[in-house]
Amino acid sequence: MKVAVTAQGKDATAAVDPRFGRCQYFVIADTAKNTFEAVANDNGVAGGAGVATAQALLNRGVEIVLTGNIGPNALRVLQGAGVKVYTTTAPTVQAALQQWQAGEAMLLSQANVGSHFGMGQGGNRW
């Protein structure tokens, strides 16, 4: 199973990036192979970053996403493809994975921020 964690760096010790569409990196853990892969998020500058980022993860076969915040459009794309999205407050990628494995990450049924949240304007919180 491939689990993507929004990250501010390139490995499991990196801080979790609370933004989905405009996060710096994704650290993708393959739980079957016990491997990690860092992927730079190149979708963070233009409008529609969340949807483009969601599609990029789908193209990589990700089945689970761990993040701090995610908007409605990105969540809709991921959920439509059967990807489960969890919110985490863990400080690092490794801690977020441990939180999820322990069943302590919260499965999202709806977005926890409004559209354009990660653009530096604060966005709209529900």
Q: Residue 92 sits in a domain of what CATH number?
A: 3.30.420.130
Over 90: is that where the pLDDT of 63 sits?
Answer: yes
- Alpha carbon separation from 88 to 10, 38, 42, 81 (Å, rounded): 18, 19, 22, 21
Asked if residue 124 is part of any domain, the answer here is: no
pLDDT for res 113: 81
Asked if residue 126 is part of any domain, the answer here is: no
Asked if residue 54 is part of any domain, the answer here is: yes
Over 70: is that where the pLDDT of 115 sits?
Answer: no
- Domain tally, the chain: 1
Asked if residue 72 is part of any domain, the answer here is: yes
H helix or E strand, kind and range, residue 53: helix 49-59
pLDDT for res 121: 44
What's the pTM value of the predicted model, to 2 decimals?
A: 0.88
Mean pLDDT score of the chain, rounded to an integer?
89
pLDDT for res 116: 53
